């Protein structure tokens, strides 16, 4: 038994079997890296779910997602920026869905980076909604690939945390905060991040 | 436009940079008419604040005229506004609780990482105050982009001079919040460490909140004289022993509430301070904290300590034992500026609070580097430097 005995989420365990933890978390095992990030958003869960479920909305706050093509109701094609100006692509398939509450997905066979995950929208009463992204993936190039990705700030856990903050900003304030003071600066900033 | 930019320790310059533009719907562009150098700008000037980059535009106390607005702004072109130094969205949980400096959304997503690592949580964005607090361009410039302009800026009625309302941007609400955090009860004796602008406003605020006595502590005679004008008793810590004086002046009880408005660059040749200076210059520890230690030791049993002073890092020799054994309460934080603006504007208009006494020097924007140098090196006479872009003043 590698599953811990306390009440902390399995995604915060110090050591253990990632595949088993992923399964217990409700995610199809796809690799040895598993993490979750939660953010509380001061909006109703139905509204947040609806925005997220239209996958063409996601690049507006996911900085490293170049585009998402909707292939059919369950299948999407993702084009994602990778370190050194590269892109990686995969098809994602919705494996489970509860309207207003949860979407789970897994990458299709042949994905450049095998990945799976779920996004939960849990009603938090007067605080709004707790949004939790749980992601399991197989880092390209194993641990070294992960270190390189981290150097380029493209480590998925860091990206997910920033993406969720941008999602929160967009949903709560109608815009995404920037400290640039000219349009040219803002464009240069996002180019720099993507190279 | 012209703007005061940071290039390193004791190196600030007025450069020509791009004019700001509207980037988000709720933005406004303000043409600056008055902008002050804050004591906390000296922390940047002295190189104490990490995550600064060469070319950063400084300044977080400013006001001016609305010249451009985004589709979501509620301001109108031509209005005069004072802008809070804290950038708050008005729609997150913390803004809903009026904890504006804890706003979830005022700091861009990528910049929040630094504060999350260091403090556990990211705080609101601040104008002109390092990249940890957002990397926003400040207001010591001809123009500034103001995000969330429908929430922060307060419109100033015609006929009220800039100099009367400029300090609504930071130091007046900061002094007011410091006194509020001291939870003053009628009959209280309140001790205030540091007679800089925040300390002097805390003195005025404490009396307005019902304090019977305020004891102000500093070593600059001119600043102590200003505190005395507002009715405070004074202790010059170079001439008297602060703890002993406070105890004798309060009949052995100690002050009911203590306000530390000195912060991370405390002056004075005290042993722990010298050790702190050595540590700060060797990066072993970053904050020099004599004033907060003394406030905790002097405070009466069961009393309150309020700390508006800016601290950024770690300290040791914090008198945790005294703090616990005496059952003190400590309240602190960056100022929730937006919370206090309407009430304080009224207090100014009704002449309950005097603000203009503070301004010792007025200069054009081009003279800003000289203003920093003077403020840094002549703190007795230079109580506040206000820059007026577009105006020139005789030397």
Q: Confirm or reject contact between A190 and chain B (CB < 8 A).
A: no
Q: Confirm or reject contact between A5 and chain B (CB < 8 A).
A: no
Q: B31-52, pLDDT tens digit by residue?
A: 999 999 998 899 899 888 888 9
What residue spans in chain B does CATH classification 3.90.180.10 cover?
A: 2-169+336-387
Contacts of A37 (CB under 8 A, 6+ apart): A132, A133, A157, A160, A161, A164
Give residue B281's pLDDT.
Answer: 52
Round to whole Å and give the CA distance between A50 and A48.
5
Round to whole Å and give the CA distance between B283 and B65.
42
Query: Which strand (E) or helix (H) includes residue B273?
Result: helix B271-281
Q: Region B9-35: what's the mean pLDDT?
A: 98
Identify which of B363, B274, B370 has the alpha carbon closest to the alpha carbon of residue B34: B363
CB contact under 8 A, A184 and B18: yes
CB contact under 8 A, A176 and B107: no
Q: Confirm or reject contact between B25 and chain A (CB < 8 A).
A: yes
Q: How many CB atoms lie within 10 A of CB B228?
A: 14
Give residue B283's pLDDT.
Answer: 47
The residue length of chain B stands at 395
CB contact under 8 A, A165 and B112: yes
Q: Confirm or reject contact between A38 and chain B (CB < 8 A).
A: no
User: Three-state SS string across B352-376, please?
Assistant: CCCCHHHCCEEECHHHHHHHHHHHH
Q: Region B128-146: what's the mean pLDDT?
A: 95
Q: Region B280-293: what's the mean pLDDT?
A: 61
Contact residues, chain A, for B23 at CB < 8 Å: 178, 180-183, 186
ipTM confidence: 0.88
Q: B84-126, pLDDT tens digit by residue?
A: 999 999 999 999 999 999 999 999 999 898 888 888 999 999 9
Identify which of B222, B268, B221, B263 has the alpha carbon closest to the alpha carbon of residue B242: B268
pLDDT exceeds cutoff 70 at B68: yes
Low-confidence winner among A144-153, B275-284, B379-388 (lowest mean pLDDT): B275-284
Give residue B394's pLDDT.
Answer: 75
Round to whole Å and give the CA distance between A149 and B28.
37
In CATH, the number for domain B2-169+336-387 is 3.90.180.10
Give residue B78's pLDDT.
Answer: 98
Could you give all domains of chain A from N- to C-terminal order, each with its CATH number? 10-193 (3.30.530.20)
Per-residue DSSP letter, A132: E
Task: Supply B388's token pair.
Answer: 């007026």
CB contact under 8 A, A169 and B109: yes
Q: Which residue has the higher pLDDT, A186 or B70?
A: B70
Average pLDDT, chain B: 92
Q: Confirm or reject contact between B113 and chain A (CB < 8 A).
A: yes
Q: B156-169, pLDDT tens digit by residue?
A: 999 999 999 999 99
pLDDT exceeds cutoff 60 at B193: yes
Q: Confirm or reject contact between A166 and chain B (CB < 8 A).
A: yes
Identify which of A192, A40, A35, A27 has the alpha carbon closest to the alpha carbon of residue A121: A40
What residue spans in chain B does CATH classification 3.40.50.720 cover?
A: 172-332
Give residue A191's pLDDT.
Answer: 65
pLDDT exceeds cutoff 80 at B173: yes
- Nearest by CB to residue B91, choosing from A158, A173, A183, is A173
Round to whole Å and give the CA distance between B379 and A43.
49
Q: Confirm or reject contact between A179 and chain B (CB < 8 A).
A: yes
- Nearest by CB to residue B92, choosing from A42, A175, A193, is A42
Identify which of B192, B253, B249 has the alpha carbon closest to the alpha carbon of residue B226: B192
Round to whole Å and give the CA distance between A84 and B129.
31
In CATH, the number for domain B172-332 is 3.40.50.720
Phi and psi for A79 in degrees, rounded to 5?
-120, 115
Grade residue B276 by pLDDT with cuts at 50, 70 and 90. low
Give residue A31's pLDDT.
Answer: 84
Q: B249-260, pLDDT tens digit by residue?
A: 999 999 999 999
CB B200 within 8 A of CB B230: yes
Round to whole Å and give the CA distance between B216 and B225.
10
Distance between first and last Cα of chain B: 23
Q: Which residues of chain A have pLDDT under 50?
A: 1, 195
Q: Region B223-235: what's the mean pLDDT?
A: 97
CB contact under 8 A, B136 and A176: no
């Amino acid at each position: 038994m590698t599953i811990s005995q306390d009440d902390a989420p399995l995604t915060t365990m110090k050591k253990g079997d990632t595949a088993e933890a992923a399964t217990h978390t409700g995610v199809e095992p796809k690799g040895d890296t598993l993490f979750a990030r939660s953010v509380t958003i001061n909006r109703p869960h139905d509204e947040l779910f609806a925005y997220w479920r239209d996958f063409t909305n996601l690049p507006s706050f996911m900085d490293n997602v170049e585009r998402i093509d909707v292939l059919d109701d369950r299948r999407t094609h993702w084009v994602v920026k990778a370190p050194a100006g590269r892109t990686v692509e995969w098809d994602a398939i919705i494996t489970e869905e509860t309207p207003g509450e949860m979407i789970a997905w897994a990458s299709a066979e042949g994905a450049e980076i095998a990945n799976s995950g779920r996004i939960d929208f849990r009603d938090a009463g007067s605080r709004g909604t707790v949004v939790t992204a749980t992601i399991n993936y197989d880092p390209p190039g194993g641990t070294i690939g992960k270190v390189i990705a981290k150097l380029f700030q493209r480590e998925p856990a860091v990206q997910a945390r920033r993406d969720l903050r941008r999602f929160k900003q967009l949903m709560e304030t109608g815009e995404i905060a920037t400290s640039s003071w000219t349009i040219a600066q803002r464009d240069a900033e996002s180019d720099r991040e993507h190279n | 436009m012209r703007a005061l930019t940071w290039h390193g320790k004791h190196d600030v310059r007025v450069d020509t940079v791009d004019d700001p533009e509207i980037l988000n719907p709720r933005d406004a562009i303000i043409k600056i008419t008055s902008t002050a150098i804050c004591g906390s700008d000296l922390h940047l000037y002295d190189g104490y604040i990490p995550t600064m980059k060469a070319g950063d535009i400084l300044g977080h106390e400013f006001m001016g005229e609305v010249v451009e607005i985004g589709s979501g702004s509620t301001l109108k072109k031509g209005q005069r506004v004072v802008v809070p130094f804290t950038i708050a969205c008005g729609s997150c949980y913390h803004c809903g609780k009026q904890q504006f400096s804890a706003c979830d959304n005022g700091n861009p997503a990528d910049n929040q990482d630094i504060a999350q690592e260091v403090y556990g949580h990211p705080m609101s964005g601040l104008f002109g105050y390092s990249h940890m607090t957002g990397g926003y361009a400040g207001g010591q410039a001809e123009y500034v982009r103001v995000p969330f302009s429908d929430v922060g800026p307060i419109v100033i009625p015609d006929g009220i001079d800039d100099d009367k309302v400029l300090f609504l941007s930071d130091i007046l609400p900061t002094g007011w919040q410091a006194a509020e955090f001291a939870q003053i009860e009628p009959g209280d004796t309140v001790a205030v460490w540091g007679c800089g602008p925040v300390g002097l406003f805390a003195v005025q605020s404490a009396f307005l909140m019902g304090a019977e006595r305020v004891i102000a502590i500093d070593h600059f005679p001119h600043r102590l004289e200003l505190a005395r004008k507002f009715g405070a008793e004074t202790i010059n810590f170079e001439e008297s022993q602060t703890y002993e004086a406070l105890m004798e002046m309060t009949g052995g009880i100690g002050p009911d509430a203590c306000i530390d408005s000195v912060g991370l660059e405390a002056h004075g040749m005290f042993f722990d301070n010298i050790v702190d200076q050595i540590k700060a210059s060797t990066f072993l520890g970053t904050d020099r904290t004599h004033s907060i230690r003394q406030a905790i030791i002097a405070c009466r049993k069961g009393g309150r300590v309020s700390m508006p002073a800016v601290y950024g890092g770690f300290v040791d020799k914090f008198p945790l034992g005294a703090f616990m054994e005496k059952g003190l309460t400590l309240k602190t934080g960056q100022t929730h500026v937006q919370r206090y603006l309407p009430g304080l504007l009224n207090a100014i208009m009704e002449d309950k609070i005097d603000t203009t006494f503070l301004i010792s020097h007025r200069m054009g924007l081009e003279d800003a580097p000289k203003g920093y140098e003077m403020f840094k090196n002549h703190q007795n006479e230079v109580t506040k430097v206000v820059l007026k872009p577009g105006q020139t003043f005789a030397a």
